[in-house]
């Protein structure tokens, strides 16, 4: 008899992003377009177990790391909570669309044989394959907080935002890859990220005491 199981422990993993910001300001409100290259990573575990009629048991465990590289196109609306002074906290809300550029899955396989009474572990090796065809471009919503620090003609921006995909990043009917024969296939995936960023903005107009908003 075969039985499969999975766990979502240790799903979160650090990633990274870099990009540009184009910002239009008017009376405390800003429309901000922030194209960026982003790498997302997450991990999970799954297992496939065989049990014989005599009670013999054999288990195959999969430790999986999924990496996604995307071009992210966010459009955010910001509002300055404090509109005067060199330190200006703000809140923001908006949406984004992510375009998949590449995807890789790395699977470490461990086999456990219980037939002798004492579990005997052996490595089944590690496989890394490209799985871009298993993923869709996806869209979602975002919101967060931050602060602007204006000094000379440079604006330093610190942001913390939360992003959640509203559409699945994986395809429902995907061509099977070589890992599918081992029992490792994708579920429907909705990504949720906490992004922390530090930006340096060089405006076309001065932002010191000579600056006047539109």
pLDDT tens-place string over residues 180-199: 655 566 667 888 888 888 88
The predicted-structure confidence for 13-35, as pLDDT tens digits, reads as follows 777 778 787 878 788 888 989 89
Confidence band for 37, pLDDT divided at 50, 70 and 90: very high
Contacts with 121 (C-beta within 8 Å, 6 or more apart), sequence order: 110, 111, 112
- Region 77-103: mean pLDDT is 91
| Closest among 126, 146, 138 to 198, alpha carbons compared | 146
User: At 178, is the pLDDT very low, low, confident or very high (cuts 50, 70, 90)?
Assistant: low
The DSSP output letter for 177 is: -
Q: Is residue 179 left, alpha or beta, with left meaning phi > 0 and alpha meaning psi from -120 to 50?
A: alpha
- The pLDDT mean for the chain works out to 80
Taking the C-alpha atoms of residue 11 and residue 82, their distance in angstroms, rounded to an integer, is 37
Q: Is 5 left (phi over 0), alpha (psi -120 to 50) or beta?
A: beta
């Amino acid at each position: 008899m075969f039985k499969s199981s999975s766990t979502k422990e240790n799903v979160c993993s650090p990633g990274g992003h870099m990009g540009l910001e184009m910002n239009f300001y008017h009376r405390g409100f800003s429309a901000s377009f922030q194209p960026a290259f982003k790498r997302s990573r997450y991990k999970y575990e799954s297992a496939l177990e065989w049990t014989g009629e005599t009670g013999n048991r054999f288990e195959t465990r999969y430790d999986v790391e999924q990496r996604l590289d995307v071009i992210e196109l966010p459009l955010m609306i910001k509002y300055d909570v404090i509109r005067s002074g060199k330190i200006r906290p703000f809140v923001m809300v908006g949406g984004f669309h992510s375009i998949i550029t590449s995807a890789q899955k790395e699977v470490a396989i461990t086999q456990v044989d219980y037939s002798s009474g004492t579990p005997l572990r052996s490595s089944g090796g590690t496989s890394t394959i490209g799985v871009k065809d298993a993923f869709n471009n996806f869209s979602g919503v975002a919101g967060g907080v931050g602060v602007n620090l204006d000094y000379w003609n440079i604006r330093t921006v610190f942001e913390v935002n939360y992003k959640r995909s509203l559409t699945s990043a994986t395809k429902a009917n995907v061509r099977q890859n070589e890992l599918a024969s081992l029992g490792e296939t994708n579920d429907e995936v909705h990504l949720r990220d906490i992004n922390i960023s530090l930006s340096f903005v060089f405006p076309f107009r001065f932002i010191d005491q000579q600056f006047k908003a539109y």
